[in-house]
Amino acid sequence: MLRNLISAAAVAATALVALPQAGAQQYPSRPITVVVPFAAGGPTDTVARSVADAMTKAMPGANIVVENAAGAGGTIGVGKVARANPDGYTLLVFHIGMATAPALYRKLQYDPLKDFEYVGLINDVPMTLLVKNGFPAKSVKEMVAYVKQHPDKVTLANAGIGSASHLCGLLFQSAIGQELVTVPYKGTAPALADLMGGQVDILCDQTTNTTPQIKAGKVTALAVTSPARLESLPDLPTMAESGYPGFDVSIWHGMYAPKGTPKPVLDKLVATLQQALKDPGLNKRFAELGAQTASSQRATPDGLRKHLAAEIDRWSPVIKKAGVYAD
């Protein structure tokens, strides 16, 4: 009898160990949802949809769809993923806001370093410093001189507290030693629309969103925040060339899963992401938007984890010094 009980226990234990692997082999058996914590049409949405398409091609039988869950600077959508069932069917694509939220929000409903599994980095996206067409300055130097002469008349738009454009704007004001009249919007699209319409003067935002408008002549670009000029905008000088060395702002995107997602499923997602990032069509799309695809070494759980921790350390003192908080 005892021998039979031991044998039965061994069989049961073997079955339990095999369950996660069996689940991974069957995964995915239904659609995978990638949550974007912003409205459709913005830069993070563009990145997420491009990656979702490439991952769908890289994972046989997969159907990866994007769901927009906007609000509260992205924290609503992020919180939704943190609370989701950790089965690999709910993922998150988010930008640098994952690193800045701990300093910006007094009551954050999740911990970026404890409540997620990391799939990997996706890309790095530089920013562009723009002015409305007709603005009386054609270079960063001329723009700064004009701003200092008319500090109360020049308006700096952003897409809301904690947005990429907000962070870039904070650094720009710090770099030039001048506070500007800031105009927050509920998203990048309305901020850019008002810049094109001439209602605001300046905006600093991601190339994924601004490159088409720059090429179409709807706005005037003064500089890019990358260390080197972009292949997609070769005539646009860097901030370093414009007299501000060290002004290097990159808005990166990463993919996350809820804490507790089974390792075999996570491994499959990591492999699929890495394969997707080698897709020529995706790389062409990123290059057109001025984005740099993450390397295989960075498109890993460890690569994203280390980068996120470093970015939290980098941005927390900047935000706290500016005294900016969101409820």
Reported as a single tens digit per residue, the pLDDT across 96-115 is 999 999 999 888 999 999 99
pLDDT of residue 212: 92
CA distances from 83 to 36, 75, 90, 121 (A): 15, 12, 10, 22
Reported as a single tens digit per residue, the pLDDT across 31-90 is 999 999 988 888 889 999 999 999 999 998 899 999 999 888 889 999 999 999 999 999
| pLDDT score of 13 more than 60 | no
Angle CA 241–245–247, to nearest 5: 105
The answer to whether 156 and 182 have CB atoms below 8 angstroms apart is yes
pLDDT of residue 321: 81
